Amino acid sequence: MSRAYFGTDGIRGKVGTYPITADFVLKLGWAAGRVFARDRKDPTVLIGKDTRISGYMFESALEAGLSAAGVNTQLMGPMPTPAISYLTRTFRAEAGIVISASHNPYYDNGIKFFGPDGLKLSDDIERLIESEIDQPMTTVDSSRIGKATRLKDAAGRYIEFCKSTIATGMDFDGVKLVIDCAHGSTYHVAPFVFSELGATVITMGDHPNGFNINEGVGATKPESLAKRVIEEGADFGVALDGDGDRLIMVDHSGRIVDGDEVLFIIASARQARGELSGPVIGTLMTNLGLEHALSKLGIGLKRAAVGDRYVMEMMLAHQSTLGGESSGHIICRDRIPTGDGIVAALQVMEAMRSTGKGLAELVQAMDKYPQCLVNVKVRERVDLDQFDAVQSLKLEVERELAGQGRVLLRSSGTEPLVRVMVEGADGGKVRSLADKLAAAVAEVLGH
Residue 409, SS3?
strand
Instruction: Using alpha carbons, list the distances in angstroms from residue 433 to 374, 393, 436.
Output: 11, 10, 5
Query: How high is the pLDDT of residue 384?
Result: 79
Is 354 one of the catalytic residues? no
Eight-class DSSP state of 384: G
| Separation of CA 58 from chain center | 21
- Print pLDDT tens along the chain (447 aa): 467 899 878 999 999 999 999 999 999 999 999 999 987 889 999 999 999 999 999 999 999 999 999 999 999 999 999 999 999 999 999 999 999 999 999 999 999 999 999 999 988 999 999 999 999 999 999 999 999 999 989 999 999 999 999 999 999 999 999 999 999 999 999 999 999 999 999 999 999 999 999 999 999 999 999 999 999 999 999 999 999 999 999 999 999 999 999 999 999 999 999 999 999 999 998 999 999 999 999 999 999 998 888 999 999 999 999 999 999 999 999 999 999 999 999 999 999 999 999 999 999 999 999 999 999 988 777 777 778 888 888 899 999 888 788 999 888 766 788 899 999 989 999 999 999 999 988 888 865
Helix H or strand E segment including 269: helix 259-273
pLDDT at 414: 66
User: How do residues 169-197 score in pLDDT, each as one tens digit?
Assistant: 999 999 999 999 999 999 999 999 999 99
Q: Candidates 3.20.20.70, 3.40.109.10, 3.30.420.40, 3.40.120.10; correct CATH number of 11-152?
A: 3.40.120.10
Helices assigned H by DSSP within 134-216: 154-163, 190-196
The Cα–Cα gap between 343 and 247 comes to 10
CA distance 82 to 159: 12
- Give me the sign of the Cα torsion angle 327, 333, 337, 342: negative
Q: Whole-angstrom Cα distance, residue 240 to residue 217?
A: 9
CA distance linking residue 310 with residue 395, whole number of Å: 26
Strands 322-324 and 330-332: antiparallel
The CATH classification number of 172-256 equals 3.40.120.10
Instruction: Report the topology of domain 371-445.
Output: TATA-Binding Protein (3.30.310)
- Convert the pLDDT of each residue in 225-260 to its tens digit: 999 999 999 999 999 999 999 999 999 999 999 999
Same CATH fold assignment for domains 11-152 and 172-256: yes
Q: How far apart are the C-alpha atoms of 283 and 308, rounded to whole Å?
A: 9
Instruction: Look at residue 63 in the predicted model and tell me its pLDDT.
Output: 98
* Superfamily grouping for domain 258-363: Alpha-D-Glucose-1,6-Bisphosphate, subunit A, domain 3 (3.40.120.10)
Please give the model's pTM, rounded to 2 decimal places: 0.91
Instruction: Find all residues with CB under 8 Å of 376, minimum gap 6, and list them.
Output: 417, 418, 419, 420, 438, 441, 442, 445, 446
* Strands lying side by side in the sheet with 176-180: 200-204, 176-180, 236-240, 247-251, 256-257
All structural domains of the chain with their residue ranges? 11-152, 172-256, 258-363, 371-445
- Closest among 286, 407, 425 to 369, alpha carbons compared: 425
Pick the catalytic residue: 54, 67, 102, 320? 102
CB 390 within 8 A of CB 441: yes
Looking at residue 104, its pLDDT comes to 95
CA-CA distance, 6 to 9, in Å (whole number)? Answer: 7
